[in-house]
Amino acid sequence: MQQHPLDLPEVIQNLGQFLQHEDLLSCLRVSKTFHSVLIKYLWEAIDAWDHDRKRSTYPRGKTLQNHKKYIKRLVFIGNPPREYMSLQGCSVLHTISATLPEKCTSSLLTKFSRLIKAHSSTMRHVEFWIEDSLHISISGPEPWKTLLECPRISSLSIGCMKFRNDEVDLLFQVCTKLQKLNLDYGCISELPEYVQDESSNFVLPHLRSLTLCNRYNRHGDERPFSGVMLHLWGIFVRKCPSLEKLDCLHPKHGKILKVALLQNPWIFPHLRDLTLNDSVSDEELAAILRQMAQVRNFKVPSSYFGPLALHELLADRGRQLDVHENRDRITRTDRLCDTIEELQAASGWDKTDGVAQAILSNCPRLRVLAAAKITVTEIVQGPKWVCSRIEKLCLYFQMDLDPESEEGTEKQRMVFGQLGKLTELQYLDLTHYCRMPTLDLRLGAGLNGLANLKRLTTVRSTSDDYQAMGPEEAKWIVENWPKFFYLDVATNKDPDIAGSISRIFRPHNIFCMQWKSLVPTV
């Protein structure tokens, strides 16, 4: 007799990978076979902290000991339970993530070191962060000595720990083993000489993802932002030749980027993801793009992405094959716009240069665009958009024609028709931080052109002008956007009409932010 597919462990196991926590709990009760196969998924990640202060919510005692063999990831917030600090025999434990209390001491880190040491053969990912406070803790050498003994360690995230010089040396020894590093560099007051020296043999050969942040500086220490220290951190970045992803998350990180990426020779053949929160010029962005073999995510939210950077994004460079020491072969794509998936830049609401229109009509893989102004005329007169995969679009859509004229109404409908073809769109921001007039969100102006946006969840407009939406638009949204839940728009100047819109939305759990009216909302 042939078995039912759901009696086969391998089928149940494949299903278990996609089940949420509540679904797993239900499936465990189906049969002994289901229980024996799926129990490991329930125990893969354990939050060892109290979600509810009135009672403990994490497993303990005999239950913990019987199932610890399934634990892959432990998460701690605050003071960790003593029972977990003495755990041994978690045969597949590979990740420990700890957000420790404000007055964390080196002795607590030593306890974590013992937990890591007991699982050194499987440990791959470690995160240590201290809750943001004025009490910056001395890290102590034990964690870093222990990590040096972990043969598989590949990812480290640390912040709000004050390092002594001898501990800094141990930390950088650990870094030579890593593929991913998230570093709160403000905790380090001085870099070792072998890091400062551009000609030294010290490199981080395996590091592919580097994030530099500075939570430490929230407490008033400006040393990490001195020109000398930022220059030295730029040198540190240049010692990571295998980088694929670089994130510089503080508004004063421009100096690091200029030292790391704008000096010859270019040593980052694999770099394809870049985030920089400081402001750099259009010319500097172009210089970076000119060197990149390919680009996937380019996030520079404080910088203007202008014609020079656009030229490099669209330039046909021909397919080239380069050979590098740290990896064998690197292929430069024909055009960067063929590979880019996310582009974020400053809004540039005061510039009309066709950049946004050019991006939308040349980047077929684009999923996120948050950038400059685009006008109705540019859209109507320009080529068709090719970004059919886009999920998030944040631009200032400027209505540069008289919206009440016949021409203005007709061209606005054409814009809505273009937007309506973006069927993967989930988030639409029509003003992108600009408080200027934008598209008219009425059915008569072409709103019904967006009927195919079945995945849309959010529409925003921070214009100083009220829209003139009415109950008919609210009913249309309910009927045509099944996943919609957030309208951040001043819908109507008349509080009675705005109120009626809110009442239509309320039973459908759509939040309407009537931020310019006095109408109470849900």
**CATH number, position 352:** 3.80.10.10
- Is residue 519's pLDDT more than 50? no
Please report whether residue 373 resides in a domain.
Answer: yes
What confidence tens digit (pLDDT) does each residue in 416-460 have?
999 999 999 999 999 988 888 899 999 999 999 999 999 999 999
Contact between 330 and 270 under an 8 Å Cβ cutoff? The reply is yes
Mean pLDDT of 90-95: 96
Q: How far is CA 353 from the centre of its chain?
A: 28
Look over the chain and give the mean of its residue pLDDT values, rounded to a whole number: 86
Q: For position 185, what pLDDT does the model report?
A: 74
Which amino acid would we find at residue 128? F
Which amino acid would we find at residue 157? S
Please report whether residue 302 resides in a domain.
Answer: no
Please report whether residue 299 resides in a domain.
Answer: no
Cα separation, 348 vs 218, in Å, equals 29
DSSP string covering 149-187, please? Answer: T-TT--EEEEESEEPPHHHHHHHHHHHTT-SEEEEEGGG
Q: How confident is the model at residue 522 (pLDDT cuts 50, 70, 90)?
A: very low
Mean pLDDT of 371-395: 95
pLDDT above 70 as % of the chain: 87
The pTM assigned to this predicted structure is 0.87
Q: Where a domain ends, among 185, 202, 231? A: 185
| Higher per-residue pLDDT: 424 or 159 | 424
Cα separation, 400 vs 407, in Å, equals 11
- Is residue 490's pLDDT more than 60? yes
Q: For position 39, what pLDDT does the model report?
A: 81
Q: For position 249, what pLDDT does the model report?
A: 82
Q: State the CATH number of the domain containing residue 51.
A: 3.80.10
- Is residue 478's pLDDT more than 90? yes
| Higher per-residue pLDDT: 431 or 328 | 431
Query: How would you class 405 by CB atoms within 10 Å of its CB: exposed for 0-12, middle for 13-18, buried for 19 or more?
Result: exposed
Mean pLDDT of 238-266: 88
Q: Show the tokens assigned to 10.
A: 């391998």
Q: Where a domain ends, among 136, 156, 185? A: 185
pLDDT above 90 as % of the chain: 57
Please report whether residue 218 resides in a domain.
Answer: no
Please report whether residue 396 resides in a domain.
Answer: yes
Please report whether residue 4 resides in a domain.
Answer: no
Which amino acid would we find at residue 94? H
Please report whether residue 430 resides in a domain.
Answer: yes
What long-range pairs does 255-264 form, CB within 8 A, spacing at least 24? 255/227, 255/230, 255/231, 256/212, 256/230, 257/288, 258/234, 258/284, 259/230, 259/231, 259/233, 259/234, 259/235, 260/234, 260/235, 261/237, 261/288, 261/291, 262/287, 262/288, 263/238
Q: Where a domain ends, among 159, 185, 211? A: 185
Q: For position 463, what pLDDT does the model report?
A: 73
Q: How confident is the model at residue 364 (pLDDT cuts 50, 70, 90)?
A: very high
Q: Cα dihedral sign for 278, 280, 284, 289?
A: positive
| Higher per-residue pLDDT: 298 or 45 | 298
Number of domains making up the chain: 2
The domain of 126 spans 44-185
Please report whether residue 238 resides in a domain.
Answer: no
Q: For position 326, what pLDDT does the model report?
A: 45
Query: Residues near 328 by Cβ (< 8 Å), separated by ≥ 6?
Result: none
